[in-house]
Structure 1
Amino acid sequence: MAGGRRRCGWRRSHKLQAASTDQQTSSFFLPNGNGSGMGGPQAEFNLDSIAPSSSADPHQTPEVVWGPGKSPEQIAMKLMSLTERQRVAIAARIDPATYSAVRMHAPGVEYNARAMTLKLKSASSDQLPQLRRLPGSVAVVSADTADQAIAEEVKVLTDYMGGYTFAIRDVGSAHLHALLSNVDSLRAADVVVVVAGTDCALPSLVAGLTQAPVIAVPTSAGFGAALGGMAPLLAALSSNTPGITLCNIDNGYGAAAMAIRILKMATRLHAVRSAAEAAQRAVEEATAAAAAMVESASKTSHN
């Protein structure tokens, strides 16, 4: 402690401090075990050990260009930059006026008015690796027609990042029969995203009907005391059904990214389990073969 201020637990090494002058390797020290950053052993971490993500990689989640806060020229430049290493690039939250301006800089761009997304295909797509589709499926459930803009954003971005999606629309708790008539489709999904602004109960109802991970996305489309999405957000936080993942209001992109993370981890765990089972079978077969050889040798010696 110095001057009444607490020192940060992260401390730069001399290499990192000198990086701006001599371009040396960047590194920093991790704090010690007690979290204070002072005293005790510390571990140096080399930033150059992190592999760059600029190269094309079919396993890497494609980047999404976030439109708000960017000029049309910046959006167009970012899309064109991404298509140098991806077959397709997408920008989210693009209004019609911005689309018209972006089209002046990137003539080949395509607009999805419902999802408010832009798509630009690479001119050299045949030379770029194709994104590997993830096994499993994501159900995108929406409560009301007013919620479908965010639901469509979830669907488009999940498909773009490598998932397979299908939509279940207009199944708010006021139309419980519609939700129950889709229960088989709901239970067939590996991840369920529930988009609701006019219906605070829908995420809890869906989570009670399926064992799949449920991601709730409150929207600002509600009326009355919905308070711009605060009511469905607080309802999901206070849900009596455990295990609901909650995104921020209107955060369709966050829900899509979370769904992709779940599918990727499930794929990874399945691969590890399959490899372990294959190794176990190989050990059992080798053990059985060795036992058979010993038994055969024993019979031969007796004869």
Structure 2
Amino acid sequence: MDLRKLLENVKCGSTNIDDALDSLKNLPYEDIGYANIDHHRQIRNGYPEVIYCEGKSDEHILGIIGKMVEKKSNILGTRCRIETFEKIKNIYPNCEYEELSKILKIRNNEIHNNGKGKIVVVSGGTSDIPVADEAYYTAKFLGNDVERVYDVGVAGIHRLLNKIHILQRARVVIVVAGMEGALPSVVGGLVDVPVIAVPTSVGYGANFGGLSALLTMLNSCASGISVVNIDNGFGAGYLASTINKLD
């Protein structure tokens, strides 16, 4: 909800007080039994609530979307099953889906690019792309200029060095890697901007489902690196967007 526009409409008389109160009655949240939908979040944080679809029934996801559509919110869903998307698409034809990253998008308002610079998403290998794409589409949906540099892991470091000009033009770099997770340390030593490291669960047995990559990133000797949870591309994209919009 654009609260400023609502108040301006009341001030100029195009919206009466009763209608304005009706619009505000479900702020700051709406209790629908199985969910408390935080309609106030965009006013507080600048972004609407994001739907984490994994573990939710299709009916609950549709119910949450319905209430958010009533408020004309833009909707981002993560970890969405393709079967769920197909049901949603039948009801909301403007729904979009990114199959690799399992990202669901519904645009009810124009998304303006209000970032201060470019976010670059880097992946170690092709197997890391689903997580990298989750970061990419999250940051893009939140109104940022985002570029991808994929499959440039440390096993062939010349591939990364060939893209150094792209990295050095970024305002924030997201680095997604599995296996031993060394790539963020290398990138951190090449750029002068924040690096957000994302460990993935890609790797053989001793990778421990991403734990070895996580520990490598947490123990990085390069400065300026923050680390999000294993496979949390969404968290990295959201954090990068927040940094990119700071003055």
Shorter-chain TM-score above 0.5? yes
For the pair 1:242 / 2:223, whether they are aligned, the reply is yes
Structure 1 residue 263 corresponds to structure 2 residue 244: yes
2:158 to 177, 186, 195: 177
The answer to whether residue 178 in structure 2 is matched with residue 197 in structure 1 is yes
Assess if the C-alpha contact under 8 Å between 1:62 and 1:161 holds in 2.
no
> Structure 1 residues 256 and 130 mapped into 2: Cα distance closer, same or farther (>3 Å)?
closer
Q: Which of 210-219 and 220-229 deviates more?
A: 220-229
Instruction: Show the counterpart of 1:283.
Output: none
Question: Partner of 1:90 in structure 2?
Answer: 76
Structure-1 residue corresponding to 2:129: 148
What is the aligned counterpart of 1:112 among 98, 122, 129? Answer: 98
Three-state SS of the structure 2 residue aligned to 1:147 is helix
Task: Determine what percentage of the aligned residue pairs are the same residue.
Answer: 36
**Cα root mean square deviation, aligned:** 2.3
Q: Which has the higher contact order (CA 8 A, sep 6+)?
A: 2
1 CA distance for matches of 2:65 and 2:99? 18
SS in 1 for 2:165: helix
Tell me: CA distance 1:53–1:83, structure 2 relative to 1, closer, same or farther (3 Å). Answer: closer
The TM-score, its normalising length taken from structure 2, stands at 0.77
Q: 1:98 corresponds to which letter in structure 2?
A: T
Letter in 2 for 1:167: R
> How far is 1:214 from its partner?
0.3
Query: Which moved further from structure 2: 139-148 or 218-227?
Result: 218-227
Higher radius of gyration, 1 or 2: 1
Which residue in the other structure is 2:57 paired with?
Answer: 71
Structure 1 gaps of 5+ residues are 1-51, 268-303
Q: What TM-score, normalized to structure 1?
A: 0.64
Give the CA deviation at 1:121. Answer: 3.2
Change (3 A) 1:56 1:251: closer
Residue 79 and residue 192 in structure 1: after superposition, are their counterparts in 2 closer, same or farther (change >3 A)? Answer: same
For residues 79 and 131 of structure 1, the distance between their equivalents in structure 2, rounded to whole angstroms, comes to: 22
